[in-house]
């Protein structure tokens, strides 16, 4: 607790905010890539400490929000298969797929279980040997190693009724895609802390060298985020871009080699479709041939067809910084936390949900 409190010190935060204000002599737009950053910035009132000339815009770092509509439909398809249990993290339950959601399918009697880890899903498979257990694999480099570990465990136990539908995304290719997106002005990136714990600062090096745009890895406490923003504003105002790590107590340049090894053993890079960004080359993960028996897409011959996002939903624009939640004509009217139309209003890391909770 004491260790956490020092990163919430009011005087330190006020000092950092003052330094940021003194350097913001021109308009600056900084994208916090991570959904956890978005929520934490609102929760701690960071925006109220910053000058009007500094805009924080949300990025595609919410794993549920960037999951493509076709992948959501695939989860529904799996849930409707006989003798099947779909295991999922809770955030996916209320996200609207085309014409339904996992929550609605569960209410209709489909066997959909919320789990807190992939090991819970493995336990389901062991306890139900006469049924197929499929884990809905979404998320970034943060969760991919644990899901890879579950496949290795299932392989070691020769479990024949466990598989994963792999819809994982990788953060660095998304940054590259954002730089090529028209209508998005970004002067610096606040890079995600927990993804960086796994992949390390080195993972952004080629991106930075190509674009020479300020990039800072930051943690999630108020002082962590303000320190990251302070470094970014200093780089922007002095036109001295760099790739820096303001979360040194958790993130190293090399990242976590053991987690990377587990992830590389099971997965290989693949093209992936992102909500708001479309298909990005080598921005996702697929299961290697060696572990094909644990690939739900192959086991059940699932070939998702392209699917459109809900009509009028601006989640794709919101999570790429092209608009703010209140700019969406559905925000607060047809789309609310009680009756969401888009994933950004559902997920605990969603930008629309954060605006609704903290910015009304």
Same-domain pairing of 338 and 244: no
pLDDT in tens, 108-143: 999 999 999 999 999 999 999 999 999 999 999 999
Number of structural domains in the chain: 2
d(CA 275, CA 319): 8
Residue 360 lies in a domain: no
Same-domain pairing of 112 and 237: yes
Residue 16 lies in a domain: yes
Same-domain pairing of 179 and 60: yes
Same-domain pairing of 95 and 212: yes
Find out whether 189 and 30 touch, Cβ atoms under 8 Å. yes
Same-domain pairing of 11 and 99: yes
Same-domain pairing of 337 and 222: no
Query: Which pLDDT value is given to residue 305?
Result: 86
Taking the CA atoms of 99, 104, 106 and 107 in sequence, report the sign of the dihedral they define: negative
Same-domain pairing of 220 and 341: no
What is the chain's percent helix, strand, coil content, to nearest 5?
45, 20, 35
Residue 97 lies in a domain: yes
Q: Look up tokens 């002599």; give the residue.
A: 25
Same-domain pairing of 270 and 254: yes
* Residue numbers of the chain with a pLDDT score lower than 50: 1
Query: Which pLDDT value is given to residue 287?
Result: 98
pLDDT in tens, 197-214: 999 999 999 999 999 999
Query: Which pLDDT value is given to residue 1?
Result: 47
d(CA 328, CA 331): 5
Same-domain pairing of 201 and 68: yes
Same-domain pairing of 293 and 331: no
Listed in order, strand segments (DSSP E) in 119-199 are 132-139, 162-168, 188-191
Query: Which pLDDT value is given to residue 2?
Result: 58
Domain span at residue 326? 314-354
Q: Tell me the pTM.
A: 0.94
Query: Which pLDDT value is given to residue 183?
Result: 84
Residue 53 lies in a domain: yes
d(CA 90, CA 109): 17
Same-domain pairing of 135 and 110: yes
Residue 359 lies in a domain: no
- Residue 295's alpha-carbon distances to 145, 162, 209, 263, 298, in angstroms, are 15, 9, 36, 15, 6
Find out whether 47 and 262 touch, Cβ atoms under 8 Å. no
Same-domain pairing of 258 and 301: yes
User: DSSP secondary structure string, 180-245?
Assistant: T-TT---SEEEE-HHHHHHH-GGGGHHHHHHH---EEE--SSHHHHHHHHHHHHHHHHHT---EEE
Residue 95 lies in a domain: yes
């Amino acid at each position: 607790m004491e260790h956490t409190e020092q990163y919430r010190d009011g005087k330190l935060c006020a000092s950092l905010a003052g330094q940021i204000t003194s350097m913001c002599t021109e308009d600056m737009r900084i994208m916090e890539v991570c959904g956890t950053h978005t929520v934490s910035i609102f929760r701690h009132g960071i925006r109220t400490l910053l000058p009007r000339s500094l805009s924080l815009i949300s990025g595609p770092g919410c794993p549920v929000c960037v999951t493509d509509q076709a992948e959501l439909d695939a989860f529904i398809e799996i849930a409707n298969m006989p003798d099947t249990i779909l295991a999922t993290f809770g955030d996916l339950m209320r996200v609207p797929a085309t014409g339904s959601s996992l929550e609605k399918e569960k209410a209709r009697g489909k066997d959909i279980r919320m789990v807190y880890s992939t090991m819970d899903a493995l336990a389901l498979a062991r306890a139900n040997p006469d049924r197929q257990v499929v884990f809905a694999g979404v998320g970034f480099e943060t969760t991919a190693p644990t899901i890879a570990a579950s496949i290795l465990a299932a392989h070691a136990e020769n479990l024949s009724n466990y598989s994963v539908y792999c819809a994982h995304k990788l953060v660095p290719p998304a940054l590259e895609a954002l730089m090529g997106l028209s209508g998005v002005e970004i002067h610096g990136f606040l890079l995600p802390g927990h993804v960086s714990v796994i992949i390390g600062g080195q993972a952004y090096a080629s991106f930075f060298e190509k674009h020479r745009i300020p990039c800072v890895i930051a943690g999630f406490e108020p002082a962590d985020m303000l320190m990251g923003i302070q470094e970014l504003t200093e780089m922007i105002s002095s036109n001295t871009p760099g790739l820096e790590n303001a979360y040194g107590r958790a993130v190293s340049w090399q990242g976590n080699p053991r987690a990377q090894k587990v992830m590389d053993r099971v997965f290989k890079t693949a093209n992936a479709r992102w909500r708001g960004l479309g298909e990005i080359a080598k921005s996702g993960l697929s299961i290697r041939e060696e572990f094909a028996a644990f690939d739900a897409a192959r086991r059940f011959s699932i070939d998702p067809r392209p699917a459109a996002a809900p009509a009028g939903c601006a989640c794709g624009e919101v999570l790429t910084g092209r608009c703010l939640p209140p700019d969406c004509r559905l925000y607060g009217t047809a789309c609310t936390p009680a009756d969401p139309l888009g994933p950004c209003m559902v997920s605990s890391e969603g930008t629309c949900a954060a605006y609704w909770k903290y910015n009304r």
